[in-house]
Amino acid sequence: MARPPALPAEEKVRIVLWILAGEVTVAEAARRAKVSEQSVGNWKRQLLEAGRASLVAGKSGPSTREAQLEAEVAELTEALGEAAVELRVWKKSAEGRLGPWRTSR
């Protein structure tokens, strides 16, 4: 007998929520989804563990993406500061050789 195609995560969550709400039993859910009771039990365990981990982590710190963007902003800010200093040095150096700074206007 061929194995049925894997259910999308959204469907697994919906099934587990039905079980947690008491709308269906694990056996009924497994029968409807055409999977084993063990599979449904695994989905339930995984969802509860992930939810628990999420609550424990809470909003204690920035997400990985936020941290990455903050690091990039800091790096770019530093580079901009260095460029500004270099420009000031170049202008001072040019004034010494060419007289007061003149624009091309």
Based on the domain organization, do 16 and 51 belong to the same domain?
A: yes
Based on the domain organization, do 65 and 52 belong to the same domain?
A: no
| pLDDT for position 47 | 94
| pLDDT for position 29 | 95
Residue 1 lies in a domain: no
The closest of 36, 51, 43 to 18, measured between CA atoms, is 43
Residue 105 lies in a domain: no
Helix, strand or coil for residue 48?
Answer: helix
- How far, in Å, CA of 87 to CA of 69, rounded? 27
More confident residue, 104 or 16: 16
Residue 2 lies in a domain: no
Interval 67-90 mean pLDDT: 93
CB-based burial, 1-20: b 16+ in 10 Å, e otherwise: eeeeeebeeeebeebbeebe
Express each pLDDT in 87-98 by its tens digit.
999 988 887 777
More confident residue, 5 or 93: 93
pLDDT of residue 75 exceeding 70: yes
Domain count, the chain: 2
| pLDDT for position 26 | 94
Q: For residue 61, what are its two tokens?
A: 């710190």
Based on the domain organization, do 66 and 47 belong to the same domain?
A: no
pLDDT of residue 105 exceeding 60: no
Express each pLDDT in 13-69 by its tens digit.
999 999 999 999 999 999 999 999 999 999 999 999 998 888 877 666 667 888 899
Q: Which domain holds residue 96?
A: 61-100
Quick check: 19 and 25 in contact, CB under 8 A? Answer: yes
